[in-house]
Amino acid sequence: DVKVTQSSRYLVKRTGEKVFLECVQDMDHENMFWYRQDPGLGLRLIYFSYDVKMKEKGDIPEGYSVSREKKERFSLILESASTNQTSMYLCASSFVGWTGDTEAFFGQGTRLTVV
Amino acid sequence: EDKVVQSPLSLVVHEGDTVTLNCSYEVTNFRSLLWYKQEKKAPTFLFMLTSSGIEKKSGRLSSILDKKELSSILNITATQTGDSAIYLCAVSNNNNDMRFGAGTRLTVKP
């Protein structure tokens, strides 16, 4: 079974702190994604990566950065946490096989509260 | 700008009813459309659609893609309380990204 693991289920941080959210997948997937999910807004793409050291901005990259130094790990960084970044963060991974897409597999989510 | 729109945003039905959830998209270099079900945790995969007009079916759930209309529907027949969830539609493109709609929150009452 594909496993996508996020390092924390719940996190409380103070305004201005630098926050690291880690995501690890064990299926050698090329693509990895970070989303945030807020009520009524669905999953909004923050960043995605299609290969090691490659990253692309999603719809809401402001205030975030990412790092993909190894294929299995994709980190989301909040440079200076703010209260409007309080949200559920979901990591996902997928690959494109020779017949096309596969579905994305999700981690369990990290509920981040910034106080 | 790529966009995925789901409707309705919220739906309340009674057990046994049939529901149809809609997803429309505007995506450059469309590759596939995916449906997910999300209860209290991470989304779980339901269907992936790449070809127009071919219905995918799993038990009481079915889905079809219309590339001409840039839309997809998800049907659930004989709904049960366990179908209560948020249903998410996502679209992937040839740039490897994947964008989601806002979701439809389905509540099935006994």
Residue A81 has pLDDT above 70, yes or no: yes
pLDDT tens readout for residues B73-89: 999 999 999 999 999 99
Q: Which residue has the higher pLDDT, A91 or A99?
A: A91
Interface contact flag, A104 B96, Cβ < 8 Å: no
pLDDT classification of A101: cutoffs 50, 70, 90? low
**pLDDT tens track for B32-42:** 999 999 987 78
Q: How confident is the model at residue A1 (pLDDT cuts 50, 70, 90)?
A: low
B102 or A39, which is more confident: B102
What single-letter DSSP state applies at residue A30? S
Alpha-carbon distance A14 to nearest alpha carbon in chain B (angstroms)? 25
Size of interface A-B (CB pairs under 8 A): 67
Sort out which chain A residues have CB atoms less than 8 A from B90's CB and list them.
43, 104
Sign of CA dihedral A40, A46, A50, A56: positive
Whole-number pLDDT of residue A14? 97
Burial of B88 (0-12, 13-18, 19+ CB in 10 A): buried
Interchain pair B102, A41: CB under 8 A: yes
Alpha-carbon gap, residue A103 to A93, rounded angstroms: 9
Alpha-carbon Rg for chain B in angstroms: 13
pLDDT at A115 over 60: yes
Q: How far apart are CA A91 and CA A64, in angstroms?
A: 14
Residue in the structure block whose two tokens are 């981040």: A112
Residue type, B15: E
| Strand residues in chain A grouped as ranges (E) | 4-6, 10-13, 19-25, 31-38, 42-51, 54-57, 64-70, 73-78, 87-94, 96-97, 100-101, 105-106, 110-114
Residue A99 has pLDDT above 60, yes or no: no
Whether pLDDT at A27 is above 90: no
Each residue of B53-76: b (16+ CB within 10 Å) or e? eeebeeeebebbbeeeeebbbbeb
pLDDT along chain B (110 residues), means of 10: 91 97 93 91 88 92 95 97 96 85 95
Spatial separation of the C-alpha atoms in residues B31 and B29, rounded to whole Å = 6
Mean of pLDDT values over A7-17: 95
Q: Which of B9, B48, B93, B96 to mutate to test the interface with A (most CBs of A within 10 A)?
A: B96
Tell me the average pLDDT of chain A: 91
Distance from CA of B4 to the nearest CA of A (A): 10
pLDDT over 60 at A8, yes or no = yes
Residue B109 is predicted with a pLDDT of: 96
